Structure 1
Amino acid sequence: MNAWSVPGYREVRELGTGGAGRVVLATYSTTGAYVAIKYLHDGLRGDPRFLRGFRQEARIMVELNDPAIVRLYEYVETRDGAAIVMELVDGVPLRRILSEHGATSPEAALVVLKGSLTGLSLAHASGIVHRDYKPENVLVQADGASKLSDFGIATPGTEPGVPAGTPPYMAPEQWDDGAVSPATDVYAATCVFFECLTGRRPYRADHLAGLRHRHKTAPIPAEEVPSAVRGLVTRGLAKNPADRPPTAGTFLGELEDAAAAGYGPDWEQRGRRRLAELATLLALAFPLAKPAEPVEVASSVARTVLSGRLRSFVPRFAVGGAVLSVVVVAALVAANRQTPVADNSPIVPPVHAEDAGPSAGPSTPSPTPSPRRSKAPAGTGTSPSDPPAGAAPDPPSDPSTDPPSDPPPGSPSPPAVTPSGTPVVTPKPAPPKVTSLGIDGFDGQSATIHVRAANGRKVTLTVRFSEGSAPDDLDPLPPQIIPLAGATSYETGVQQGFPAPECDTTVYRRIEAGTSPEAPGGTRTTTLRVTGAPCPSPTVDSVKISGWDGTEVDADIGTGGTGPVKVTVQFSRDGRLVDTVTRTLRGQTAYSFSASADLGPADCVKVNEFTAVITTEPGSANGPQRASIRKVCTREPVPPTPGEPGLPS
């Protein structure tokens, strides 16, 4: 047992340990529902940067309810420890399947990838990147369905200078500075997909330096996988994140097309059956395979939970001595916590009066008046409400003490009163209010959104990215909707996997952030000008002079790319350099080039040679090109002067 355990839960046994921490099977004390609790490793708990980010992401993750994601119930952090309480998945990690059985069938590998991309897509839309996708974090159930766990919990680096993550699945950009984006998750998911197809990882080395080098420079081993899925592997393992699908949702669409084309319309059913077979062979390793000790649970409480309507209760704070420890309960939304449910029952959020609309009553039920006794009509037998034979008759009715008559249908309910007769006034909860909103650090791909609220009521943050060739001509992308609740200050990281601009081109990217309810001043907007890297110099295939008249030279230039080519023309007269013209051509692969210079008039005493020489950088395949023309002056006849002999005077 840990020295510290999460209050309100009873630990049953340890399920396993890993780089991120220790996982135990536990039951919720109130209902007996099974949960899994992960006690975070000291290396994570002692990292303030990790804790700040994970606290915020936990608030978002608790709102994500999808069959492809392990449900997060709460995150508890005190000075004695930090732990995550989450849904118990009765299955085995994909790592166990790969270790025991090796490669799966292609259809089963596609099912694993599809399930993971579905969960990642939902997280990416909420601005969350997994950061440490690997087979250990994919849990496969007996029916072949899989769930993705441990969002935002990256395994700490094992050596100085190595960022957090699991090296065999880390994207090239993650090795450099720990940078992550949705495309980083796509890379890791493709690595696991490759391992399911082949039984081995795409890149292997004896030490971290070699593994890093292979992830960054080695060719993609697409020839090792079936031809039907080579395109998926090539796209997902691209070295440059801009060459991968920008989000898991995009990749999911490509997967569906490739799977149907390669394995037929029923590929998914066959894949699920195969995964179910492989998982069932390991059924003894399921968390609930070993019976737990019986837990006494009041049947009435269990029935209430299993009915699908959850009870809410106030947040829990841990107190050590006289000092209040830092406690983060991410599952609490506006001071409400969803209770884990027994037997995989669906989780239904409790309905609060302030959220139910004007027709909802107060959250605390008013006392219910006692029903009036029904009197039997004359001449009838004893009614169920009559006293039994031998019982004393009811005393005469006292108008001052008799319960009031039932109000007619449609009339308002009488107000609740205290025993002294004073009406109970239920204060109306304050509405949600946003006090400030800001965008920080937009770099063209990601930004941090700051939201300040007057209370912990639910606020919806909407972030939109757009891109285009001009600030007034931007194409919007689907919005990211991020629910915020339970605090008054939020820092939310958002990302969009834009492809890199083409070389030597400029694009404009914009981020817009707005909240509901609206922040003072409305939506915030930041626009950034992004320029692509310089285009590499292409080869110059040929230079051909098509015309030269001693003043202007015309040439045709062919190149092997659209990058810049420097063209220099030297103009000479009788071997003496007179003028030089230099231009840079880019953006095409074929150019018609003209340049001119004033070399002066031809000399009448001798023959002049006018020359143009064209060179390029990089050099052309056919070398410098030269054109010359020889000229002599042409004298005009000089008219005779009047009065000369032979002419009339």
Structure 2
Amino acid sequence: MNAWSVPGYREVRELGAGGAGRVVLATYSTTGAYVAIKYLRDELRADPRFLSGFRREARVMVELNDPNIVRLYEYVESRDGAAIVMELVDGVPLRRILAEHGSTSPEAALVVLKGSLAGLSVAHASGIVHRDYKPENVLIQADGTSKLSDFGIATPSGAPDTPAGTPPYMAPEQWSGNAASPATDVYAATCVFFECLTGHRPFRADHVAGLRHQHQSAPIPVLEVPGSVRGLVVRGLAKNPADRPATARAFVADLEAAATAAYGPDWEQRGRRHLAELATLLALTFPLATPAEPVEVSTSLARTVLSNRLAHFAPRFAIGAAVLSAVVIAALVAAHRQTPVAQDTLLTPPPHSRTAEPPADPPATAAPAETPGDTPGATDGPTTVPTVDATSGTGPTTAVAATTAAPPPSSPGSPSPPATPATPATPTAPLAVTGLGVTGFDGQAATVRVRANGPGRIVLTARFAEGPSPDGLVGGDPQAIPLEGARSYEPGVQQAFPAPPCGTAVYRQVEVSTAPAASGGARRKVVKVTGAPCPAPSVRGATITGWDGRQADVAVTTDGVGPVGVTARFTRDGEPAGAVIRTLSGRTSYAFSLKGGLGRLECETTSVLGVRVTTRPPAANGPQTREVRVEGPKCPPPSVAIGSWNGSSATVNVRAGRQTTVTLKVGFTQRLTYQGRTLTFDDSAGDTLSGDTSYSHAYTAQFRQPKCGFVDVRTVTATVSPGGASASRTLTVTGPPCSDPGDGPGESPSPSPPDTPKSPDPQDSPPPPAIT
């Protein structure tokens, strides 16, 4: 019996075989376009767990559309086999290059790492972790570009599972059976990066237990790689996932910065050229080269040469058409005869499914099935056959099941079994849905859990909605899935949402309800889905439309909506005076203002204030600069104040608006008054102040204490120029009272009447104050 092959294709030759199956080169019968078809081994297809993983690979690949990932065109499954039809990548696995050449240049290793991280980033944005990144799964093309393949054991991010992967590249958390995450793929990608640089893996052992110990506990052999990339290796191979870059996208940013700093801005072109040279030396092993003996591979090796010939290809999921007629009959029987339906859920199609090729043979009849345990007496209960109804253009629907033949009759002549006495009918409780929930939703597909108190018919309805916010969701047509024949179900539902625009996020909701209604009503789950990162656009132009020395008005135009960095650097009289950085995204034209902190301008001085604007990527018209001459404000005149004055000592404070020469004059006056007569003594001092804007000087006058009966008024005055500002303080000192007013100041009492005191004698007056 010939091996089963996918209808609609002509096989050319086998490309290779691996543990999971074989890969063949084929052409699409209608157009002659080349494809690669991966067939699952029959003995593995009989393993439900392995088959589930193979379906998962197909589903992951059909949802990922990126130039760094091998494109899936079709997934076909029938009773005779299962296969995926994928893009033909005309190139060689990275493993073949390393086996032939040992290692690569640092630039080439960085190119491999960047391309793989870009593909992984798209998968991570869809919630998918590869878990088995290795050189066998990186395909290098003749132009030095690479593609990532084989998502056979890929799993949703964070999903706990049994350990899976290839031991030399497994992260420490994989060895412990912990949940995989994007950081898990970052670890494996760094292991391959290390191998490209050195020609060997970072950890080597003769047995699996030794590998496990090294990955979990051994120090990173960072001294074996060039110093320019050691930081990347240390971060990527960190034992704790939290110490690695959180996403592949974040690691790309680190990689580009390190590569540019170490190898210059053209490192990527040189690295790609080196990879192209290494791949071209193996050109005879390319799939489209002269036929060669099959080699051991793990997936397709190929590059698409389909061009526009694949315009009529739509990605599809198809289950063999040999059972399609039986499926339709089963749906009608379930709808009109209320026959039990097996509890197993069926595979639902991804977006844009199309019907499988018509079968060459008439539909086969499924084998008899055992009577379900919860439906006594049933003789024609169906068994589940995975299939998809892809004939409707309105969206995916879930098929029910394929019928099976009734049990064979007894042999002629055999005795009939004794009749069983009829038993009275037992009243049964009304059918009720006792449990309903959404156990998983990734923005495209959801798993629903339904529990009932009996095997009766339940109709599950799923409604999907999408919107820019959780409050702005818009729903589509409902999907109805009949359930019958069991008490517990976990069907899958799916909606063909388009991918969000790059760099944007949308919210998606799935709401499920049942008839009869579940206790507690409908259930819903909302998730946020982020589009792939937008590629960095080209900056067509950057212009400084205005600059007044404080604020720069800037206009930027690009050819895409991806992120663009803008940096404005400010200068004052040629010296740096600060910078402002802004990131633009989401549009192709921007107008905005950037303010610089240039500090206080000196009064009555002229400053040259400048701004320089650059973009990343660089603008087509290069950096832009503007300068303006700005006059400082008019300086205020010097001011003076007397801080303290105790009658003999004074503190004089002077402030100037700028550093200029200030003249300070200080004068002291003493006025002695006795019985209406006044004696005045004056003196002055002065200073010339410069080199600062603030001064404080102390001055002291030596005054004689007044004799009895005198009133002593002491004044200090300070004046500054230019400006002529002045300040003064006055203090009055009264001498002690005389013992007899009839006697003169300081004399003994005399018999003179108190109302005729002696006139003050200048000979008895105190000397003039001494100024120091």
TM-score by length of 1: 0.51
SS at structure 1 position matched to 2:84: strand
Query: What residue number does 2:508 align with?
Result: 515
SS at structure 1 position matched to 2:176: helix
User: Residue type of the partner of 1:131?
Assistant: R
Q: Distance in 1 between matches of 2:109 and 2:243?
A: 23
Cα pair 1:168 1:211 within 8 Å, conserved? yes
SS at structure 2 position matched to 1:524: strand
Cα pair 1:334 1:485 within 8 Å, conserved? no
Question: Cα gap change, 1:316/1:525 in structure 2, threshold over 3 Å: closer, same or farther?
Answer: closer
Deviates more, 1:229-238 or 1:163-172: 163-172
Q: Distance in 1 between matches of 2:233 and 2:209?
A: 23
Superposition pairs of residues 606-625 of structure 1, within 5 angstroms: none
Q: Distance in 2 between matches of 1:145 and 1:82?
A: 30
Question: Cα gap change, 1:311/1:77 in structure 2, threshold over 3 Å: closer, same or farther?
Answer: closer
Residue 284 of structure 2 is aligned to residue 284 of structure 1: yes
Query: What residue number does 1:92 align with?
Result: 92
Cα pair 2:168 2:203 within 8 Å, conserved? yes
Query: What residue number does 2:351 align with?
Result: 333
Identity %: 66
Displacement after TM superposition at 1:81 (Å) = 2.5
Displacement after TM superposition at 1:486 (Å) = 11
Question: Cα gap change, 1:205/1:257 in structure 2, threshold over 3 Å: closer, same or farther?
Answer: same
Residue 525 of structure 2 is aligned to residue 524 of structure 1: yes
Cα pair 2:77 2:320 within 8 Å, conserved? no
SS at structure 1 position matched to 2:12: strand
Query: What residue number does 2:22 align with?
Result: 22
Displacement after TM superposition at 1:522 (Å) = 8.1
Cα pair 1:77 1:327 within 8 Å, conserved? no
Residue 65 of structure 2 is aligned to residue 65 of structure 1: yes
Deviation string, structure 1 residues 324-352 (Cα, Å, up to 9, x no partner): 7999998763533799xxxxxxxxxxxxx
Question: Cα gap change, 1:13/1:240 in structure 2, threshold over 3 Å: closer, same or farther?
Answer: same
Query: What residue number does 1:166 align with?
Result: 166
Cα pair 1:70 1:87 within 8 Å, conserved? yes
Q: Distance in 1 between matches of 2:86 and 2:249?
A: 25
Q: Distance in 2 between matches of 1:131 and 1:314?
A: 24
Cα pair 2:73 2:315 within 8 Å, conserved? no
Deviation string, structure 1 residues 55-91 (Cα, Å, up to 9, x no partner): 3563342132211000011222233332221100000
Residue 299 of structure 2 is aligned to residue 306 of structure 1: no
Displacement after TM superposition at 1:167 (Å) = 1.0
Query: What residue number does 1:635 align with?
Result: none
User: Residue type of the partner of 1:317?
Assistant: G
SS at structure 2 position matched to 1:238: coil
Superposition pairs of residues 495-644 of structure 1, within 5 angstroms: 515=508, 524=525
Query: What residue number does 1:576 align with?
Result: none
Cα pair 2:75 2:317 within 8 Å, conserved? no
Query: What residue number does 2:268 align with?
Result: 268
User: Residue type of the partner of 2:61?
Assistant: M
Deviation string, structure 1 residues 292-319 (Cα, Å, up to 9, x no partner): 9xxxxxxxxx999638455799956242
Aligned-residue Cα RMSD (Å) equals 4.9
SS at structure 2 position matched to 1:30: coil
Query: What residue number does 1:319 align with?
Result: 322
Displacement after TM superposition at 1:485 (Å) = 13
Question: Cα gap change, 1:178/1:17 in structure 2, threshold over 3 Å: closer, same or farther?
Answer: farther
User: Residue type of the partner of 2:134?
Assistant: K
SS at structure 1 position matched to 2:129: coil
Residue 12 of structure 2 is aligned to residue 12 of structure 1: yes
SS at structure 1 position matched to 2:23: strand
SS at structure 2 position matched to 1:62: helix
Query: What residue number does 2:244 align with?
Result: 244
Cα pair 2:57 2:154 within 8 Å, conserved? no
Cα pair 1:31 1:305 within 8 Å, conserved? no
User: Residue type of the partner of 1:183?
Assistant: A
Q: Distance in 2 between matches of 1:154 and 1:459?
A: 25
Deviation string, structure 1 residues 369-412 (Cα, Å, up to 9, x no partner): xxxxxxxxxxxxxxxxxxxxxxxxxxxxxxxxxxxxxxxxxxxx
Cα pair 1:75 1:328 within 8 Å, conserved? no
Q: Distance in 2 between matches of 1:86 and 1:62?
A: 9
Query: What residue number does 1:45 align with?
Result: 45
SS at structure 1 position matched to 2:121: helix
Superposition pairs of residues 434-445 of structure 1, within 5 angstroms: 438-440=437-439
SS at structure 2 position matched to 1:254: helix
User: Residue type of the partner of 2:224?
Assistant: E
Displacement after TM superposition at 1:174 (Å) = 1.1
User: Residue type of the partner of 2:146?
Assistant: S
User: Residue type of the partner of 2:351?
Assistant: V
Query: What residue number does 1:146 align with?
Result: 146
Q: Structure 1 residue aligned with 2:447, among 434, 445, 450?
A: 450
Query: What residue number does 2:411 align with?
Result: none
Higher relative contact order (CA 8 A, sep 6+): 1
User: Residue type of the partner of 1:209?
Assistant: A
Superposition pairs of residues 402-481 of structure 1, within 5 angstroms: 438-440=437-439, 449-450=446-447
How many residue pairs get aligned? The number is: 385
Cα pair 2:187 2:236 within 8 Å, conserved? yes
Q: Distance in 1 between matches of 2:99 and 2:349?
A: 34
Query: What residue number does 1:490 align with?
Result: 492
Q: Distance in 2 between matches of 1:3 and 1:460?
A: 44
Cα pair 2:38 2:84 within 8 Å, conserved? yes
Deviation string, structure 1 residues 592-622 (Cα, Å, up to 9, x no partner): xxxxxxxxxxxxxxxxxxxxxxxxxxxxxxx
Question: Cα gap change, 1:171/1:456 in structure 2, threshold over 3 Å: closer, same or farther?
Answer: farther
Deviation string, structure 1 residues 570-602 (Cα, Å, up to 9, x no partner): xxxxxxxxxxxxxxxxxxxxxxxxxxxxxxxxx
Deviation string, structure 1 residues 349-368 (Cα, Å, up to 9, x no partner): xxxxxxxxxxxxxxxxxxxx
List gaps (5 residues or longer) in structure 1: 156-160, 293-301, 340-426, 466-482, 493-511, 527-649
SS at structure 1 position matched to 2:508: strand
Cα pair 1:334 1:486 within 8 Å, conserved? no
Cα pair 2:510 2:526 within 8 Å, conserved? no
Displacement after TM superposition at 1:20 (Å) = 2.8
Displacement after TM superposition at 1:207 (Å) = 1.0
Q: Distance in 2 between matches of 1:307 and 1:166?
A: 34
Cα pair 2:172 2:239 within 8 Å, conserved? yes
Cα pair 1:104 1:197 within 8 Å, conserved? yes
Q: Distance in 2 between matches of 1:439 and 1:224?
A: 49
Query: What residue number does 1:190 align with?
Result: 190
Displacement after TM superposition at 1:22 (Å) = 1.4
Displacement after TM superposition at 1:450 (Å) = 2.6
Cα pair 2:346 2:492 within 8 Å, conserved? no
User: Residue type of the partner of 1:185?
Assistant: D
Largest Rg, 1 or 2:
2
Question: Cα gap change, 1:47/1:91 in structure 2, threshold over 3 Å: closer, same or farther?
Answer: same
User: Residue type of the partner of 1:231?
Assistant: G
Q: Distance in 2 between matches of 1:79 and 1:130?
A: 28
Residue 225 of structure 2 is aligned to residue 225 of structure 1: yes
Deviation string, structure 1 residues 256-307 (Cα, Å, up to 9, x no partner): 1111111111110000000000000100000000269xxxxxxxxx999638
Q: Distance in 1 between matches of 2:462 and 2:74?
A: 18
Question: Cα gap change, 1:83/1:462 in structure 2, threshold over 3 Å: closer, same or farther?
Answer: farther
SS at structure 2 position matched to 1:24: strand
Q: Distance in 1 between matches of 2:45 and 2:25?
A: 21
User: Residue type of the partner of 1:83?
Assistant: A
Question: Cα gap change, 1:2/1:37 in structure 2, threshold over 3 Å: closer, same or farther?
Answer: farther
Cα pair 2:33 2:309 within 8 Å, conserved? no
Q: Distance in 2 between matches of 1:306 and 1:246?
A: 40
Q: Distance in 2 between matches of 1:255 and 1:337?
A: 44
Q: Distance in 2 between matches of 1:491 and 1:22?
A: 31
Question: Cα gap change, 1:90/1:314 in structure 2, threshold over 3 Å: closer, same or farther?
Answer: closer
Superposition pairs of residues 119-130 of structure 1, within 5 angstroms: 119-130=119-130
Question: Cα gap change, 1:304/1:245 in structure 2, threshold over 3 Å: closer, same or farther?
Answer: closer
Cα pair 1:13 1:26 within 8 Å, conserved? yes
Cα pair 1:131 1:152 within 8 Å, conserved? no
Q: Distance in 1 between matches of 2:477 and 2:19?
A: 29
Cα pair 1:194 1:202 within 8 Å, conserved? yes
User: Residue type of the partner of 1:281?
Assistant: L
Question: Cα gap change, 1:170/1:123 in structure 2, threshold over 3 Å: closer, same or farther?
Answer: same
Deviates more, 1:233-242 or 1:314-323: 314-323
User: Residue type of the partner of 2:32?
Assistant: G
Cα pair 1:144 1:275 within 8 Å, conserved? yes
Question: Cα gap change, 1:222/1:167 in structure 2, threshold over 3 Å: closer, same or farther?
Answer: same
Question: Cα gap change, 1:312/1:252 in structure 2, threshold over 3 Å: closer, same or farther?
Answer: closer
